[in-house]
Amino acid sequence: MDRLDNTIRPYAWGSTTAIPRLLGAEPTGEPQAEMWMGAHPGAPSRTERGTLVEVIDADPERELGPDAVAKFGPRLPFLLKLLAAGAPLSLQVHPDLTQAKEGYADEERRGVPVTAPHRTYKDANHKPELICALTEFDGLCGFRDPQRAAELLDGLGVDSLKPYVDLLHAHPEEAALREVLTAVLTADPDEMARTVTEAAAACDRLGGPYAPYADIAHHYPGDPGVIAAMLLNHVRLQPGEALFLGAGVPHAYLDGLGVEIMANSDNVLRCGLTPKHVDVPELLRIVRFEAGDPGVLRPEAGPDGEELYETPIDEFRLSRYVLPAGGATHDLTLTAPQILLCTAGSVRVGEHELTPGASVFVPSGEKTEASGTGTLFRATVVV
């Protein structure tokens, strides 16, 4: 197995303290948003044998196993991250696999450079993801019931929001949500900025359920995404709880530290809370206008102390082991590739002593045992 040396991405929304605190390092004063573990070409993990991309490319069947290669091709199909939000991320959705393939092919056909700021599809893959909280973690996930969204908007007492309130009351669920989101994203920018400013002041004054939106507006003054965010469920995860974000589900992370795993893709369609390109027609084609409970996940106990976060995705499978002092040694051997990440305590995996933030890549079939006192996350695939 290979100990991983991982890149930390300094995105502006990142916390300056959460990842350094986990790693036991001094903060640099700069944001540290994500630590990537995997073989994504944008920032592959490094090993003594080269980057993880190079290691896998040299012998995919040995590293990934023949079953994984047959199912997913000669690449690691997931990307594991530590994610530390100190400010809200962009409000966004991801396409399903068919939409991603069609969108990518269309932009390739039209000659849109992959690096162009108005390019929507960076690759032909979908990007389902799971976020598991290590601290209290705030986010937005999926649409509220239109009646509840109407009550929230109406409670601000902002006259320019009344048409949206009426739409939410007057239409069937899907039509109501579609019409209001469309209206918000296509409104006159100056008029919308005034509406957002007035709404933000009301959120500040009212507090309570409006407090998250006041904070969003503080980071993104005048952004129509502030109003769009009020159509979504606000969720506060406790440590160990998780959210699964499937295709078409609008979401945003607001604050907190978590372990995130996703299919190895970079396809994001933004709805707001960003200076980046918002492709409104394509966004409205991808979004699933379905209200419902965000579905907080809690780990399900499995054999040998493994706690699994169940999802309908084969490209990744996330579980954890909470190892008590004096506990047994656990056999983690699989006929699939694994990345093991320690987030608390000290866990011995093979010859490697892992402390918080340390990780290893385990090739398919390699004998793997874990012992110690702490928390170990396991990322793998379903073959």
What residues act catalytically? 270
Both tokens assigned to 161: 């929001």
> Among residues 379, 237, 372, which one has the least CA distance to residue 313?
379
- Whether the CB-CB separation of 243 and 141 falls below 8 Å is answered with yes
Please provide the DSSP assignment of 50-103 as one string: EEHHHHHHH-HHHHH-HHHHHHH-SS--EEEEEEEESSPPPEEE---HHHHHHH
* Eight-state DSSP code of residue 376: E
Q: What span, in angstroms and rounded, lies between the C-alpha atoms of 254 and 261? A: 17
Give the distance from CA 231 to its chain's centroid: 19
Relative orientation angle of helices 162-170 and 146-154, to the nearest 10 degrees: 160
| Three-state DSSP state, 299 | coil
Q: What span, in angstroms and rounded, lies between the C-alpha atoms of 125 and 265? A: 6
> Among residues 253, 333, 276, which one has the least CA distance to residue 88?
253
> Among residues 248, 203, 219, 262, which one has the least CA distance to residue 85?
219
